[in-house]
Chain A
Amino acid sequence: GENVEQHPSTLSVQEGDSAVIKCTYSDSASNYFPWYKQELGKRPQLIIDIRSNVGEKKDQRIAVTLNKTAKHFSLHITETQPEDSAVYFCAASGPGSARQLTFGSGTQLTVLP
């Protein structure tokens, strides 16, 4: 089955700096890659997603890049703010099973004021 590895497990940045979180996946058939943000005690919330027919997607301060050949995708957050502090999860799913997500282990992002 699919395996998703996520790095780093913890990340501290100064407010205003950029943060990058990286994930690799094992199944070359995977074609959908969402990112979720989970604040302490709250539900995971989708922040951005990308499909395999696209190499990059951007939404304001957040961007995701996908390299299908290398089987890795990354989350980029620019101009970080304290409210960006949370655990971020990457995930992957294959054709016909978009709701069967395999999640990475999560990255605890701390933005220092």
Chain B
Amino acid sequence: KAGVTQTPRYLIKTRGQQVTLSCSPISGHRSVSWYQQTPGQGLQFLFEYFSETQRNKGNFPGRFSGRQFSNSRSEMNVSTLELGDSALYLCASSAGDSPLHFGNGTRLTVT
């Protein structure tokens, strides 16, 4: 079974731009969660989607948004990028009450 796939693996953007990251969950997993990982703040929950609906949201500004499609694939968008948005963005999928399975992440660098 293929794991969680995130694209692209690396991104370099300029302050003020916007970015879209993509995540394909494990087949059969309907829940997709997004996390931000930075050296200073560690791993922080962004949001969770299930059946195309946002189910939970972390404490991030409105510049961070996401969506989920009918095939469970998910995208997250960050608008008006700031230097502090540089991070590894991790997507995780799960089925029912099963543990989270993480993807390899997208490394975003904002210059």
Q: How far is the CB of B85 from chain A (nearest CB, A)?
A: 19
Known: A99-B31, A99-B56. A44 touches B48 (CB 8 A): no
Q: How large is the interface on A (under 10, 10 to 19, 20 to 34, 35 or more residues)?
A: 20 to 34
Q: How far is the CB of A26 from chain B (nearest CB, A)?
A: 15
Identify the stretch in B11-19, B64-72, B74-82, B96-104 within 8 Å (CB) of chain A at 4 or more residues. B96-104
Q: Is there contact, CB below 8 Å, between A43 and B104? A: yes
**Binding site secondary structure of chain B:** strand
Docked complex Cα distance between A112 and B69 (Å) = 47
Segment 25-53 of A: residues with Cβ below 8 Å from B: 34, 36, 42-46, 49
* Residues in B lying within 8 Å of A, measured CB to CB: 4, 31, 33, 35, 42-45, 48, 55-56, 58-59, 90, 92, 94, 97, 99-105
